[in-house]
Amino acid sequence: MHATFKPIGRLRSCFTEKFGIPRQAGLVPEAQGVIELHPPYDRSEALEGLEGFSHIWVLYLFHGNGEAFWRPKVRPPRLGGNRALGVFATRSGFRPNPIGMSALQLVGLETGGGSTRLRVAGVDLLDGTPVLDIKPYLPYADRIEGAVGGYAAEAPGEALVVAFDPAAREQCRRLESPRRPELLRLITRLLALDPRPAYRAGEPCRRGFGMRLFDLDIRWEVDGRRARVTAVVAAGEDPGGHDAPGD
Amino acid sequence: MHATFKPIGRLRSCFTEKFGIPRQAGLVPEAQGVIELHPPYDRSEALEGLEGFSHIWVLYLFHGNGEAFWRPKVRPPRLGGNRALGVFATRSGFRPNPIGMSALQLVGLETGGGSTRLRVAGVDLLDGTPVLDIKPYLPYADRIEGAVGGYAAEAPGEALVVAFDPAAREQCRRLESPRRPELLRLITRLLALDPRPAYRAGEPCRRGFGMRLFDLDIRWEVDGRRARVTAVVAAGEDPGGHDAPGD
C-alpha cells in the first residue's frame, strides 16, 4: 500500500541554504517564516479557530536531500557525527518517509487579498519547504510532563560568544529592514549555536566560515569559544575566501 | 509535486472499531498497542538509541475513513459537533493529506526472533493503522511551556462515573489476560471519557451503547452522569440490542 500526498503550501524562511539552520524548531525565536497556502487550501475558513493557538505543528517534506534514500543508522550532528544511531531514534531528514515535523510559534494569520499566509517563528526549515499539513499544538496532549529525552535530554546550549566587527555591525544595521527584521539579533543567536559541523569545532581555525541568510552572505571567524562576524553583505558581493560547509 | 510514501509498519491496538477510541493520545494510559515494523525497516539497528526515550511520535495514515476527501471546515466531536472549525485548526482525520500524529509512551522495544516490535501506551489509534514514521519525542523542542491551546485548552475531563453490574464485572475478570491486560481499568477509563457523540449526551437514554474492544463487545447504559457496564462478552455472543455509534 502506498499513499500519495500533495503539498498544501510552501514555507518561506530566512534560511536560503541548509548550513546554519537551527537543529530543532524553537531554538531561535527570531528565525521567522511565512507559510503560503496553495489553492484550494488557501481559504480562510480552513484556518478558523487556529487564531486561539500560540503554536502549530507543521508537517513538511524534507527536500533538498537529493535522491531519497535511507540507511538504518545515521550520525546526528548533535553528537558530533561521531556516534551512529538508529534512524527512528533521530529526527534526521534521511528517513524512509522523509516527513518532518516542527512546532512553530504562530505569530499571525493573514487572509484576504487573494492569499492566505501564516506568520511563524522559531523556524528550522529551509526556504521553499513543501508543507503537507498544519495542525494545532494541543498542550494537554503534546506537552508531556516528565518525558525523558534519551541522548538529547537537554537543548543544545549557546556554544559560542558572538561579537561583530564594527564594519560588519554597521553593514548589518544598514541591511536590517521589515523584510529582514532583527537581523543583528538573528545572526547572533544563530552563530551562538555554532553551526559548524562538530568534527570541525575542535580545529584551530584561521579561515572563516560563511552562511547564506535571506539574500545575504554572513561571514565569521571562530577562535576557541568566540565567534567574530567579519562581514554581512549582499550575496555575490565580494565573495572573499570562506569555507563551504562541506569542506 | 507529489510525494509517495510507503508504510514502515502497522500498529496493533485494542481498538478494533472507531467508536470509543480516545480523542487524543495519552488520555488513557491503559490503552496499549504494538507497532510491528515491516521489512526492510525491521532491523534493530534502526531503533538504536530510542531505548533512552520515554515517548515517541508516531506518524500514521488515517485509514478507515472511506474515500479520501476534505472540506475546509469540520465539526470536532470535542465541541459536540455543534461548531464548525477550519480543518487546520483541528486534528481531524478528514484533511487534505490524511497524516496523523500521536505522542505515545514507549513501553518497550522487542527485537529478535525475526521481528521488531515497539510496545506503546496511551494509544488513540485503530487496530491496523499504517505507520509512516517513528521519531523520538524531544522534550526540549516538543514540550512547549506556556503554549496556549485555543478552544482545546484543557484535556477532556472524565465526564461519567463508571460502575459495573456484578455479572459484567465477573465476565470482565474472566476475560482479562496477558493479551487483554487491565481490562476492567481500561473499560472504566474509556467509558469515563464518554465516547457517545456529543449530540446524544444530552438525551435521556434507556437504550444501551456498545463498543468493540479487542475481540470483545462491551455494553453499557448511561443515566445522567453515570455509566453502568451491563456486559463484557466475546464478540458475536448474544448481541442483544445496542446502538451502533451512528444511530
Domain(s) labelled CATH 3.30.2310.20 in chain A stretch across 161-243
- Tell whether the model's pLDDT for residue A244 goes beyond 60: no
Q: Which of A51, A98, A139 sits opposite B149 (nearest CB)?
A: A139
- Tell whether the model's pLDDT for residue B241 goes beyond 50: no
When comparing pLDDT for A211 and B207, which is higher?
A: A211
Using one digit for the tens of pLDDT, what is the confidence trace for A188-211?
999 999 988 765 666 665 568 999
- Whether the ipTM is more than 0.95: the answer is no
CB B86 within 8 A of CB A49: yes
Residue A189, classed as helix, strand or coil, is: helix
- Tell whether the model's pLDDT for residue A78 goes beyond 90: no
The alpha-carbon gap from A114 to the nearest alpha carbon of chain B, in Å, equals 16
What residues of chain A lie within 8 A of the CB of B54, using their CB?
A: 144, 146-148
Give every strand in the sheet of B242-243, ordered side by side.
B161-164, B226-234, B216-223, B208-213, B242-243
Domain(s) labelled CATH 2.40.30.70 in chain A stretch across 9-150
Q: Which of B89, B136, B142 sits opposite A136 (nearest CB)?
A: B89
What residues of chain B lie within 8 A of the CB of A2, using their CB?
A: 4-6
Residue A228: the pLDDT is 96
Using one digit for the tens of pLDDT, what is the confidence trace for B110-134?
987 778 899 999 999 999 999 999 9
State the best of A144, A148, A151, A158 to mutate against chain B, taking most chain B CBs within 10 Å: A144
Instruction: Say whether B148 and A133 touch across the interface (CB within 8 A).
Output: no
- Tell whether the model's pLDDT for residue B216 goes beyond 50: yes
Instruction: Say whether A2 and B3 touch across the interface (CB within 8 A).
Output: no
At B63, the pLDDT band (50, 70, 90 cuts) reads confident
Please tell me the least confidently modeled range out of A45-49, A74-78, B187-191: A74-78
- Tell whether the model's pLDDT for residue B244 goes beyond 60: no
The alpha-carbon gap from B235 to the nearest alpha carbon of chain A, in Å, equals 29
Name the residue among A159, A157, A136, A172 with its Cα closest to residue A51: A136
Q: Which of B26, B47, B73 sits opposite A88 (nearest CB)?
A: B47
Closest chain B residue by Cα to residue A63: B3
Rounded CA-CA distance A190/A184 in Å is: 10
B21: alpha, beta or left, given left = phi > 0 and alpha = psi -120 to 50? beta
Question: In this structure, what C-alpha cell is assigned to residue A157?
Answer: 546550549
What residues of chain A lie within 8 A of the CB of B51, using their CB?
A: 150
Question: In this structure, what C-alpha cell is assigned to residue B59?
Answer: 506518524
Instruction: Please state the rounded mean pLDDT for residues A61-66.
Output: 78
Instruction: Please state the rounded mean pLDDT for residues A48-61.
Output: 97
Q: In this structure, which topology does domain A161-243 adopt according to CATH?
A: YaeB-like fold (3.30.2310)
- Tell whether the model's pLDDT for residue B212 goes beyond 80: yes
Residue B113: the pLDDT is 76
Question: In this structure, what C-alpha cell is assigned to residue A247?
Answer: 569542506
- Tell whether the model's pLDDT for residue A10 goes beyond 60: yes
CATH class of domain segment(s) A9-150: mainly beta
